[in-house]
A and B are shown apart, each in its own frame.
Chain A
Amino acid sequence: MKKSLLINSIFGFLIQISIAAFLIFVLHFLKIEFIGRYLGPVGLLFILLSFLYSLRKRKIIHGGSMKNYLLFHEVMTWLGALLILVHSGIHFNAIIPWLATAAMLANITSGFAGRFHFEEASRELEVSKKVLMKKGLNDEDAENKLWGASLHAQVMEKWHAIHLPITSIFAGLLVFHVIVVLMYGAF
């Protein structure tokens, strides 16, 4: 089960790269690569919308299940990153946008790794929780007791310490790129 989930994560990443490469090829083949220029802002919008999950997690907004918000976060970041990859279009020109793209790819990889550990931790907890609940503990107590004991749950905590800085670096480079584009009127 573990293996299949890991393969799923790697497969998801490879599919994204392949779709991006295919779209870049099609745009160039049809000589309409200029469309890629406008996919950047759309991708950015998708990624910004995906942060509704972070707002919900930090209880800045309320309503709706966390599970759905997480799914929304995953789908929107996946789509946003795909559009930004097409936007970058394998043109190696300026270094800052490319550093931002590299940070985004690292972010996607880290996201898939996080998803893998989160799913595994949830699965482990679910099994052990049932055992503890049979022994008379209520749902919340059982979860609190087990969270620290799960290996994947421990990895998840360390993963947060990596995912957040990568996101911050990506955000910083992206903000700089957007400012430069607005400054020099390349829109």
Chain B
Amino acid sequence: MKPKSYAILYFLGSIMLALGLFYLSPKFAASPGPLMQGHTSVSDCQKCHTVFKNDYESSCISCHAITKIGFFKTTGEKIPRNTKSGKVNHQRMGPVSCGHCHVDHRGVKLAPNLTAFNHENESYENGQKKKKCQTCHSNPPDTPHKKNTTDCDVCHSTKIWNKPNFDHSVKKVPENVFIRCESCHKSSKDSFHKSKRENCGDCHKNDVWKPIVFDHAKYYRLDKRHKGTCKNCHKLGVYTQYKCTGCHAHSKKP
């Protein structure tokens, strides 16, 4: 037999093998990862997938009716009002694809930019911003978030949520929220920061919190005769106090 012929035979044989495996167990043969908890009992791929059609939404909605999400389980059982998972209010959302937020087959994620939630929808931009944001984003229990009860968009934008871009210009800051730097920035627990609770601006700047920019010459010029370590002058590690006697002993001579 010519090499070409047996190459075709091997090609067809491997396809037959794959078909056989797929026929015996589609999950074992082709599933790209385990299904999410609520779907583990689903064994038929066609339950959610339409062959050669990338149309999940109609399959999702066939079980998860939008009007019932958050209120009733797919079994018809009522979801108690205080249940966390029932709080997301899908009814107020615009016409967005389920796949923007939910991904089945754990471990298989599409590129974020392909699945990014469409915040441009009118209902997310107009009025009651805080309330709308909290439909999906939980309010962290830290200091700045506890105090800020109004506008999320002081720091966050609909483009980037996780990297807050805070504008320090006072006009934008709601009153009684960001009185001091420590409202948002945790003070380090080292001896220096413990001893100095005010004037953060001496070292830190509004546009860059780290690295610090400290002008030592403003307080004491470190000329060529004073090039020792910090502890030469700041004996106890308390940088608001200094002693000259570490190097210069008191004597009667001038």
Contact = CB atoms under 8 A, between A and B. Distances in A.
Interface of A: 33-35, 37-38, 91, 93-97, 99, 103, 160-161, 164-165, 167-173, 175-177, 180, 182-187
Contacts, number: 97
B55 A185 contact: yes
Interface string B99-110: 000000101111
A180 B30 contact: yes
Contacts of A97: 30
B247 to A, nearest CB: 48
Interface stretch (B4-12, B88-96, B146-154, B230-238): B4-12
B31 A93 contact: yes
Nearest to B106: A93
B30 A185 contact: no
B32 A94 contact: yes
B3 A185 contact: no
Nearest to A38: B111
A27 to B, nearest CB: 12
B176 interface: no
Contact of A172 (B15, B21, B45, B112): B15
Nearest to B3: A164
A89 to B, nearest CB: 9
A127 B108 CA distance: 55
A63 to B, nearest CB: 24
9 contacts: A93-B107, A94-B28, A96-B22, A96-B30, A165-B7, A168-B11, A170-B14, A177-B18, A185-B52
B11 A95 contact: no
B7 A95 contact: no
B137 to A, nearest CB: 19
B49 interface: yes
A155 B14 CA distance: 26
Given A91-B33, A161-B3, A182 B52 contact: yes
A172 B18 contact: yes
Nearest to B10: A168
B30 A169 contact: no
B163 to A, nearest CB: 14
A165 B1 CA distance: 13
Contact of B33 (A93, A180, A183): A93
B107 A95 contact: no
B71 to A, nearest CB: 29
A91 B106 CA distance: 11
Contact of A96 (B12, B18, B54): B18
B65 interface: no
Given A34-B112, A186-B108, A169 B29 contact: no
